[in-house]
Amino acid sequence: MAAIADAPMRPLIRLYDFLIAGFAAVGAASLALSTILIVADVLLRNFGLQPIQAASALVEYAMLVATVGGSPWLVRRKGHVAVDSLIAQLPSPIHRTLLVGGMVLSLAVCAFLGWRAAMLALEAVARGSVDIRSIILPGWIVYALLSAGLFLCATEFLRLLIVRDAPIEAQHGSGA
Amino acid sequence: MDWPQAALLLLGGIVALMALGVPVAFAFLAINIVGVLVFMGGMAGIDQLVSNASGTVTTFTLVPVPLFMIMGELFFHTGLAMRVFDALDKCLGGIRGRLSYLTVGGGTLFATLSGSSMANTAMLGSLMMPEMLKRGYKKHMIMGPILATGGLAMIIPPSTLAVLLGSLARIDVGALLIAGIVPGLILAFLYVITIRLQIAHDPDAAPGYAAARAPLSEIVKAFAVNVLPMGLVVFSVIGLILLGWATPTESAAFGVLSVVVLALIYRALTWEAIVKSLTESLAVTAMMFLIILGSSTFSQVLAFSGATSGLIGWATSFDVGPSVMLLAMLLTLIVLGMFMDQLSMMMLTLPIFMPLIQSFGLEPIWFGVIMLLALELSLATPPFGMLLFLMVGVGPKGTTLGEVARAASPYIACSLVVILLLAVFPEIALFLPNLMR
């Protein structure tokens, strides 16, 4: 982001970069914690001790944390799956225009659904709704997580579109 | 709106957006928004879409996906995979084509320890390719075995793709994982035969060189120290499921634990290896789960619009038998695989295929294994199979797409042979899951 960074903006940009990396770190940590929780739960159960009641609910939520935590960082890494092989055959200006169009569409989709998820989170807070799993969790958490992840994806697409040192390229993640 | 128009809007729309290079997850979300607005009406439908999306990935059945990924990455980054390869290497001596055989042998063994075809292919590529190039192997003897064996991790448990297929198609995940063992091993055996035939046809394709076979005592020691302990991982994953002692999710967690324990014993567990493994696992997990999250409402919109029932009614109106229908589904997968990734193919086809499977009274686990094989081979089919492009990127300098496709073709034939065998003898896949019942 250095290319567009004026001096007063730099701390803000550093904070934003830290946020993207921090979200990814939390996502990765959630995977490690899931492993530990499951192993501890199974061992406790088999040794006749009290299992961790919250384990399955927390592990299920960890999957969402990993998804929304990793997704904005993945946009930056251009690690989402996209089929570039067809449009790559087109002349360079058309290829570039289609890529930009795809990014604008992705940005709009993320911003729109991020906004709706935020509204649902606020609604869940107002109604005091809960999510009943192996433990009872406040209903707003999933929407808030989703909203944060989608908004950060939107800002990352925006960053790819406006920052000069981030070349316009297709996302090139691959499968399992 | 009639069902053909609805199907064209939804299925045609998603294929068009993907073909235009829109990232798959966001393409699904965009079409879902359009579908919900057209067929379900207003913001209430959009809010339902958001609600579905958040609920789809917060499920226990998807947990093995990242855990199998972590297993494979830990194997790779701690160097445990290298130890297995070194042990196998000592057994082969100077036979012609030894590095191609080693690719299949080591890759198959690694497939029983890792759930990721990407990690498997990356490891085989980085480990075997430089040595094969140095020894003067022809390109097809290098790329064919790597490309084919890399994909075995999709079929032999622990397989992330089998977990995804099982949970998305509501097939018993444990049974589907176990059902992949025998077909996967048959496939590996066919790969060995293919290499032998290729060498018989063109002995210069894999030049022989003096490589002394290690003394028996050394081989036994290498196996005892570097291969046998890996049985702990195989037992933690396959054994615990087969014995019915753990769910696939629990066995996946114990799989990760067993790799960590082994890495500690070998003094190979470093902070760097842990961070790299978690980072790479997060990248693939976020990528796959966002596609699942994005496409969660797709099957519902498809059903709500009448496209699913219309398509199924149309497909069953031809009065054809189950084998013709199976062939049609396979052809669909192969065509889609020419330009699409596995997960997108599953999300696009499962809403149509699974009701069809039910209406024809076919066994879902058996179909799941066939679908995994079709997904595996479709990635290596020209002109746009994703593995072909991957291989052009990492292959020897100057490699063309045509060369990779030609190298892959005998191995694609092997997959077709196994699919045919499964179609005629379903028990190949089903007898192990039946033992669990």
pLDDT at B267 over 70: yes
Q: Which residues 34-53 on chain B approach chain A with CB closer than 8 angstroms?
A: 43, 46-47, 49-51, 53
Sorting pLDDT into bands at 50, 70 and 90, what band is A68? very high
Amino acid (1-letter code) at residue B239:
G
Q: What is the largest CA-CA distance in chain A?
A: 67
Sorting pLDDT into bands at 50, 70 and 90, what band is A163? confident
Q: If 0-12 CB within 10 Å is exposed, 13-18 middle and 19+ buried, where does residue A75 land?
A: buried
> Average pLDDT in the B244-262 region?
91
> Average pLDDT in the A9-26 region?
93
> Average pLDDT in the B151-158 region?
90
Least confident of A67-76, A118-127, B129-138: B129-138
**What is the residue-averaged pLDDT of chain A?**
90
Q: Are A158 and A109 in contact (CB under 8 A)?
A: no
User: A92: which 2 tokens?
Assistant: 């360079």
Whether residues B66 and A27 touch (CB distance < 8 A) is answered with: no
pLDDT at A3 over 60: no
Q: If we measure between CA atoms, which residue out of B212, B227, B201 comes closest to residue B95?
A: B212
Q: Which residues 105-144 on chain A approach chain B with CB closer than 8 angstroms?
A: 105-106, 109-110, 112-113, 116-117, 119-120, 142-143
> Average pLDDT in the B284-305 region?
87
Q: What are phi and psi of B361, to 5 degrees?
A: 65, 30
Amino acid (1-letter code) at residue A87:
I
Q: Tens digits of per-residue pLDDT, B161-185?
A: 999 999 989 999 999 999 999 999 9
Q: Tens digits of per-residue pLDDT, B12-35?
A: 999 899 889 899 899 999 999 999
pLDDT value for B195: 96
Q: Are B109 and B138 in contact (CB under 8 A)?
A: no
Beta strands of chain A (E only): which ranges? 130-132, 136-138
Q: Which residues 238-267 on chain B approach chain A with CB closer than 8 angstroms?
A: 246, 249-250, 253-254, 256-257
pLDDT value for A58: 96
User: B54: which 2 tokens?
Assistant: 């958040």
pLDDT value for B367: 96
> Nearest Cβ partner of A146 from B53, B118, B386?
B53
Whether residues B22 and A56 touch (CB distance < 8 A) is answered with: no
Give ipTM to 2 decimals: 0.92
Q: Are B310 and B3 in contact (CB under 8 A)?
A: yes
Q: What is the pTM of this model?
A: 0.88
pLDDT value for A6: 63
Contacts of B253 in chain A (CB under 8 A): 34-35, 38-39, 42
pLDDT at A66 over 80: yes
pLDDT at B128 over 90: no
Distance from CA of A6 to the nearest CA of B (A): 31
Whether residues B283 and A70 touch (CB distance < 8 A) is answered with: yes
Q: For residues B268 and A156, what is the distance between their CA atoms, to the nearest angstrom?
A: 36
Q: Tens digits of per-residue pLDDT, A79-132?
A: 888 877 788 889 999 999 999 999 999 999 999 999 999 999 999 999 999 998
On whether any CB of chain B is under 8 Å from the CB of A155, the answer is no
User: Of B94 and B372, which is predicted with more confidence?
Assistant: B372
> Average pLDDT in the B332-350 region?
83
On whether any CB of chain B is under 8 Å from the CB of A85, the answer is yes
Amino acid (1-letter code) at residue A58:
L
Whether residues B59 and A60 touch (CB distance < 8 A) is answered with: yes
Q: For residues A144 and B165, what is the distance between their CA atoms, to the nearest angstrom?
A: 28
Cis ω before A8 (30° cut-off from 0): no
pLDDT at B339 over 90: no
Q: Give the other-Cβ count within 10 Å of B196's Cβ.
A: 14
Sorting pLDDT into bands at 50, 70 and 90, what band is A74? very high
Q: Tens digits of per-residue pLDDT, B55-110?
A: 888 988 899 999 998 998 898 899 888 888 888 888 777 788 889 999 999 899 88
Q: If we measure between CA atoms, which residue out of A148, A116, A164 comes closest to residue A22?
A: A148
**What is the residue-averaged pLDDT of chain B?**
88
pLDDT at A5 over 70: no
b or e along B47-73 (b: 16 or more beta carbons within 10 Å of the residue's beta carbon)? bebbbbbbebbbebbbbbbbbbbbbbb
Q: For residues B399 and B407, what is the distance between their CA atoms, to the nearest angstrom?
A: 11
pLDDT at A173 over 70: no
Contacts of B164 in chain A (CB under 8 A): 176
Contacts of A109 in chain B (CB under 8 A): 26, 29-30, 33
Q: Tens digits of per-residue pLDDT, B233-244?
A: 989 988 888 888
Q: If we measure between CA atoms, which residue out of B402, B338, B405 comes closest to residue B18?
A: B338
> Nearest Cβ partner of B116 from A38, A142, A176?
A176
pLDDT value for B172: 92
b or e along A85-110 (b: 16 or more beta carbons within 10 Å of the residue's beta carbon)? bebeeeeeeebeebbeebbebbbebb
User: What sections of B158-239 are H helices per DSSP?
Assistant: 160-169, 173-179, 181-201, 216-222, 231-234
Distance from CA of B292 to the nearest CA of A (A): 10
On whether any CB of chain B is under 8 Å from the CB of A22, the answer is no
